[in-house]
Structure 1
Amino acid sequence: MSAPRSVVLCLAPGVEDALLPQLPDAGLVVVARPAGAAEAAAAVQRLRPDVLLASADPRWVDGALLLAAASARTTALVLAEGEAGRRHAAALGVREPLDASVSGRELRDRLARSVPDAPDDVAPAPVTAPSGRGRVTAVWGPAGAPGRTTTAIALAAEIAASGTPTALVDADTTGAAVAPALALLDEAPGLAAACRLAAAEALTGHELDRVAQRHRGATADLAVLTGIGRPSRWPELSADRMGTVLERCRDWVAHTVVDAGYNLEADEEIVSDLFAPRRNAATLAAVQAADVVVAVGAADPIGLARFVRAYGDLVELVDPSRIRPVITKVRRSAVGLAPGAQIRASLARFAGIEEVTLVPSDPSACDAALLTGRSLPDAAPRASAVAALRGLAADHLVDAPPVPARRPRALRRLLPV
Structure 2
Amino acid sequence: MNPVVVLLVAAGAAWESEALTRIDGRRDVVVLKRCVDVDDLLAAASAGQADVAVVGIDAPGLDAAAVDHLRHHGVQPVAVVPSDAVDAGRLRASRIGIPGVVGEAALHLLPDAVVAAVSTPDAPPTVPRGAAGTPLGEPVVPGAGSSGPRGRTVVVWGPAGAPGRTTLAAAVAAELAARRRRTVLVDADPYGGTVAQQLGILDEVSGLLSAARLATAGTLAEGFTAVQRALDQHLSVVTGLPRADRWAEVRAGALDHLLEVARDQGDTVVDTGPSLEEDGLDPGRPGRNRLTLEAVGAADELLVVGTADPIGLSRLARGLVELAEVTGGMPVRVVVNRMRPTLGWSEKDVAGMVAGFGRVASLHFVPDDRAGVDRAVVAGRTLLESGGSPVTRAVAAVVDSLHPPALPVPGTGAPPARSTPARSTPAGRRPGRGLRRRTAGRDHRR
What TM-score do you get using the length of structure 2 for normalisation? Answer: 0.60
Q: Is 2:351–2:363's contact at 8 Å kept on the other side of the alignment?
A: yes
Structure 1 CA distance, aligned partners of 2:129 and 2:369? Answer: 48
Q: Which residue in 2 is equivalent to 1:387? A: 393
Specify whether residues 200 and 60 from structure 1 end up closer, same or farther in structure 2 by C-alpha distance, changes over 3 A only.
closer
Higher Cα Rg, which structure: 2
Asked if residue 306 in structure 1 is aligned to residue 315 in structure 2, the reply is yes
Specify whether residues 90 and 238 from structure 1 end up closer, same or farther in structure 2 by C-alpha distance, changes over 3 A only.
farther
Once the two structures are superposed, what CA deviation does each residue of 1:103-131 show, in whole Å capped at 9, x if it has no partner? xxxxxxxxxxxxxxxxxxxxxxxxxxx97
Q: Which residue in 2 is equivalent to 1:288? A: 297
* Aligned positions, number: 296
Structure 1 CA distance, aligned partners of 2:128 and 2:322? Answer: 32
2:354 maps to a residue whose letter is L
Asked if residue 86 in structure 1 is aligned to residue 86 in structure 2, the reply is no
Question: Which gives a bigger RCO, structure 1 or 2 (Cα 8 Å, sep 6+)?
Answer: 1
Q: 1:259 aligns with which of 271, 288, 291?
A: 271
Q: Is 1:160–1:222's contact at 8 Å kept on the other side of the alignment?
A: yes
Asked if residue 317 in structure 1 is aligned to residue 326 in structure 2, the reply is yes
Structure 2 CA distance, aligned partners of 1:400 and 1:80? Answer: 49
Asked if residue 199 in structure 1 is aligned to residue 216 in structure 2, the reply is yes
Specify whether residues 184 and 98 from structure 1 end up closer, same or farther in structure 2 by C-alpha distance, changes over 3 A only.
closer
Specify whether residues 309 and 403 from structure 1 end up closer, same or farther in structure 2 by C-alpha distance, changes over 3 A only.
same
Specify whether residues 262 and 89 from structure 1 end up closer, same or farther in structure 2 by C-alpha distance, changes over 3 A only.
farther
Asked if residue 360 in structure 1 is aligned to residue 377 in structure 2, the reply is no
Structure 2 CA distance, aligned partners of 1:153 and 1:284? Answer: 20
Q: Which residue in 2 is equivalent to 1:42? A: none
Structure 1 CA distance, aligned partners of 2:362 and 2:228? Answer: 35
Q: Secondary structure at the match of 2:127?
A: helix
Q: Is 1:238–1:282's contact at 8 Å kept on the other side of the alignment?
A: no
What TM-score do you get using the length of structure 1 for normalisation? Answer: 0.64
1:207 maps to a residue whose letter is G
Q: 2:246 aligns with which of 230, 233, 237?
A: 233
Specify whether residues 96 and 186 from structure 1 end up closer, same or farther in structure 2 by C-alpha distance, changes over 3 A only.
same
Asked if residue 377 in structure 1 is aligned to residue 384 in structure 2, the reply is yes
Asked if residue 173 in structure 1 is aligned to residue 190 in structure 2, the reply is yes
Q: Give 1:134 deviation, angstroms.
A: 1.5
Q: Which residue in 2 is equivalent to 1:116? A: none
Q: Give 1:376 deviation, angstroms.
A: 1.1
Once the two structures are superposed, what CA deviation does each residue of 1:191-236 show, in whole Å capped at 9, x if it has no partner? 11011101110112x51211211223xxx64211000110110012
Asked if residue 274 in structure 1 is aligned to residue 283 in structure 2, the reply is yes
1:85 maps to a residue whose letter is P
Q: 2:260 aligns with which of 247, 269, 272?
A: 247
Structure with the largest fraction of helix:
1
Q: Is 1:139–1:152's contact at 8 Å kept on the other side of the alignment?
A: yes
Once the two structures are superposed, what CA deviation does each residue of 1:288-318 show, in whole Å capped at 9, x if it has no partner? 1010011111111111111111111111222
CA RMSD, aligned part only?
Answer: 3.4
Q: 1:143 aligns with which of 160, 173, 178?
A: 160
1:357 maps to a residue whose letter is H
Specify whether residues 349 and 321 from structure 1 end up closer, same or farther in structure 2 by C-alpha distance, changes over 3 A only.
closer
Once the two structures are superposed, what CA deviation does each residue of 1:89-112 show, in whole Å capped at 9, x if it has no partner? 99887657579xxxxxxxxxxxxx
Structure 2 CA distance, aligned partners of 1:97 and 1:142? Answer: 43
Q: Which residue in 1 is equivalent to 2:440? A: none
Structure 1 CA distance, aligned partners of 2:235 and 2:163? Answer: 23
Q: Secondary structure at the match of 1:379?
A: coil
Q: Structure 2: 5+ residue runs without aligned partners? A: 1-50, 52-93, 100-118, 140-146, 413-446
Q: Give 1:354 deviation, angstroms.
A: 7.2
Structure 1 CA distance, aligned partners of 2:271 and 2:179? Answer: 20
Q: Is 1:182–1:215's contact at 8 Å kept on the other side of the alignment?
A: no
Q: 1:153 aligns with which of 165, 170, 186?
A: 170
Q: Secondary structure at the match of 1:85?
A: coil
Q: Which residue in 1 is equivalent to 2:207? A: 190
Q: Structure 1: 5+ residue runs without aligned partners? A: 1-16, 18-55, 62-78, 100-129, 408-417
Q: Give 1:277 deviation, angstroms.
A: 2.9
